[in-house]
Amino acid sequence: MEPLIEAFVADGGVLREAEQLGLHPVAARVLANRASRAGVAPDWLLDFALRSLDPPDGLPDIEVAAERVARAVTERETVALVTDADSDGVNASAVLSRALIHHFGHPPDRVQHYIGLKLTEGYGLSDAVCDRILESASRPRLVITADIGSSDGPRIARLAEAGIDVVVTDHHGIPAQGGPDAALAFVNPQRPDSRYPDPLIAGVMVAWLLLWATRRHLIARGRLRADSPSLRELFGWVATGTVADVVSLARSRNNRIVVRAGIDQIEAGTYPCWRALRPHLGDAAKPLDASDLAFGIGPRLNAAGRLHDAMAGVHFLLAPDDATAVDRVAVLNQTNETRRAIEKRLTAEALEVAREQLRQGRCALVVFLTDGHAGVQGIVASRIMQAFGRPGVCLSARPDAPAVLAGSCRSIDGLSMLDTLQALACNEPGLFLSYGGHAGAAGLTLRQERLADFEAAFESEVAHRLRGQVLRPRILIDGDVPAGGIDWALLEGLAAIGPYGREFPEPVFRSQFTVLEAREVGAAGGHWRLALRHGGVRLGGIWFGAGRDAPVRPGEVVPLVFTPEANWWQGQRRLQIRVLARDRSVAHAAAS
């Protein structure tokens, strides 16, 4: 489907503010575009000082939670860490473990890790995970959750009834029926009574803030010196979980600060895991950025939880030495390759089903895969959403309960997936067995006989919420680049205002190029390596997923929508553009 190409429109006052910051002129416009959409000041987006991080004080129940964790450390209690199976949860598990053992001096044998096996135990703090905790030979006295818990009230009640205190840290939306009442503390910036100024942080960041508050309690108790090592050295893990969970990098200054600081730590190789990963993140001379976390580190950690056991990711992140880290990253790489093969097959199948629904005029695309895989449903749902510019849902039967369907949902800008599911649950009680998530992504389970009911209700609700909106893939451009305007000064100026991610997307421009060469590349084809001329300068280009037919031909003068980037090889860099689309909406003057 041809994308709809639209231009950012910056507020005039915001643009003038950005232009006063001493940036490259194009970078100033890019910054103004994002600041205008986010409703923040341009200089606010460039404040990366660690002192600007919001302290944990406004989080609900934070003092109760921190006091309980400090008491567990003081009394050397067995503590169980229960986290989600995705990169956010895996990094949170590493952060909590590292802080408890290496910063707070807790005995390693009194820190337990629990992550649900997605294919057999389901999501979150499931009954199966509760069973494992309660059957443990050394039953914990305290459970700390991270990135889960808001929707797990009944399981938390089970643990509380068994005499186990539960401290919930989470960032997901809170169910309409309320949070986990049986928890000793429920630390979530999404709570309506939260005074913490940033509800957009990731689950790993909420866990880190609990540790910050706990450290203060331990210092006050005399258990830690005031000059003990800073918890900021854990930002590599916080950054990875934050980027992988696709939270806002525009409306949350906390996210921007920890991602920038974390990238620096990963690049410096502060832990064995980062040193083992570095050879897999491109040329050694290439500076790392948020895309390396999103597409290089995050998928490797996610793959373990999607296909097998997410604890493989935790063990890698906590590897004690370089040799162990190298061995463990090799396992993650192999699992990730398996995940990619499964994803490729199921995505192709899902897109065919979605195309048929598109021909039927659907606003929402719901795909049931008879031979699906719970581990890749979220990725497949994202591919559906990206391809057709519509909310996408991918479902398949649970292996342990074939009569139950589990699904992942991904939404477009302007539609909160969590609000939509909550409306369905309110309008049709009993439709879901469970659901939860964010505005942009959610998960659900329902009985297979209710699939048709869900499809109809979901389509009706989405159509109502998106009435009048043109549903197509969209590309927002930052402006036109004049001939000869793509140079190293531009790239360095754009890098200075990063990190880029959700709500602070990579810069996208439009310009016209003369095509010199076009050749298909990739093992399966469909990608094109280009040689282009732009204002007398020869540039390389890469166009991923353009199809088997040549998208452009030598000699053509074509308007292209693109992101400029550096192509690194053997320590050397070359300017190139990553082509996103051909702009067929406007005519351009001939190229020089």
- Domains of the chain, by residue range, sit at 4-8+474-582, 51-333, 364-465
**Helix %, strand %, coil % of the chain (to 5):** 45, 20, 35
* DSSP line for 68-84: HHHHHHHTT--EEEEE-
Q: Which are the contacts of 510, defined by CB distance < 8 A and separation ≥ 6? A: 5, 477, 479, 480, 481, 559, 560, 561, 562, 583
SS (HEC) of 520-533: EECCCCCEEEEEEE
Q: Which are the contacts of 351, defined by CB distance < 8 A and separation ≥ 6? A: 383, 384, 387
Give the separation between CA 89 and CA 144, rounded to whole angstroms: 12
- CATH architecture of structural domain 364-465: Roll (3.10)
Residue type at position 420: T
Give the separation between CA 353 and CA 109, rounded to whole angstroms: 50
Q: Across-strand partners of 410? A: 392, 441
Residue type at position 181: D
Give the separation between CA 293 and CA 290, rounded to whole angstroms: 5
CA angle 63, 253, 57 (to 5 degrees): 10
Q: Are strands 509-521 and 557-569 parallel, antiparallel or unpaired?
A: antiparallel
Check: CB of residue 305 under 8 Å from CB of residue 90: yes
Give the separation between CA 335 and CA 118, rounded to whole angstroms: 15
Helices (H) and strands (E) in the chain, counts: 20, 18
The phi, psi pair for 154, rounded to 5°, reads -60, -40
Quote the distance between the C-alpha of residue 183 and its chain's center. Answer: 27
CA angle 136, 89, 414 (to 5 degrees): 140
Q: What is the reported pLDDT for 323?
A: 98
Check: CB of residue 3 under 8 Å from CB of residue 560: no
Check: CB of residue 63 under 8 Å from CB of residue 48: no
Selection from 71, 145, 86, 154 nearest residue 112 by Cα: 145
Give the separation between CA 40 and CA 52, rounded to whole angstroms: 15
SS (HEC) of 155-189: HHHHHHHCCCEEEEECCCCCCCCCCCCCCCEEECC
Largest CA distance in the chain: 76
Give the separation between CA 582 and CA 322, rounded to whole angstroms: 46
Residue type at position 429: P
Alpha-carbon distances, residue 345 vs 35, 373, 387, 480, 523 (angstroms):
39, 11, 16, 38, 15
Residue type at position 229: P
Task: Classify residue 318 by its DSSP letter.
Answer: T
Sign of CA dihedral 216, 221, 223, 226: positive
SS3 10: coil
> Domain 51-333 has what CATH class?
alpha beta
Taking the model in full, what pTM does it have?
0.93
Is the preceding peptide bond at 499 cis, omega within 30 degrees of 0? yes
Both tokens of residue 326?
Answer: 């190298």
Q: What strands, in cross-sheet order, belong to the sheet with 401-410?
A: 365-368, 392-398, 401-410, 441-447, 434-437
Both tokens of residue 289?
Answer: 């950025």
Q: What is the reported pLDDT for 170?
A: 98
Q: Tens place of pLDDT for every residue, the chain, 592 residues?
A: 889 999 999 999 999 999 999 999 999 999 999 999 999 999 999 999 999 999 999 999 999 999 999 999 999 999 999 999 999 999 999 999 999 999 999 999 999 999 999 888 888 899 999 999 999 999 999 999 999 999 999 999 999 999 999 999 999 999 888 999 999 999 999 999 999 999 999 999 999 999 999 999 999 999 999 999 999 999 999 999 999 999 999 999 999 999 999 999 999 999 999 999 999 999 999 999 999 999 999 999 999 999 989 999 999 999 999 999 999 999 999 999 999 999 999 999 999 999 999 999 999 999 999 999 988 999 999 999 999 999 999 999 988 888 999 999 999 988 999 999 999 999 999 999 999 888 889 999 999 999 999 999 999 999 999 998 999 999 999 999 999 999 999 999 999 999 999 999 999 999 999 999 999 999 889 999 999 999 989 999 999 999 999 999 999 999 999 999 999 999 999 999 999 999 987 544 333 3
Give the separation between CA 458 and CA 464, rounded to whole angstroms: 10
- Mean pLDDT score of the chain: 95
Give the separation between CA 20 and CA 436, rounded to whole angstroms: 43
Check: CB of residue 527 under 8 Å from CB of residue 483: no
Query: What pLDDT, in 10s, does the model give residues 91-128?
Result: 999 999 999 999 999 999 999 999 999 888 888 899 99
- Beta-carbon neighbour count of residue 25 at 10 Å? 12
Do 4-8+474-582 and 364-465 fold alike per CATH? no
SS3 116: coil
Give the separation between CA 410 and CA 392, rounded to whole angstroms: 5
Residue linked to tokens 């948020």:
290
Q: Which are the contacts of 182, defined by CB distance < 8 A and separation ≥ 6? A: 153, 156, 157, 159, 160, 161, 166
Phi-psi region of 322 (alpha: psi -120 to 50; beta: other; left: phi over 0): alpha
| CATH of the domain spanning 4-8+474-582 | 2.40.50.460
Sign of CA dihedral 393, 397, 400, 402: positive
SS3 542: strand
Residue 11: exposure state from Cβ atoms within 10 A (0-12, 13-18, ≥19): middle
**H-helix segments, 433-515:** 451-465, 488-495
Both tokens of residue 101?
Answer: 């053992």
SS3 577: strand
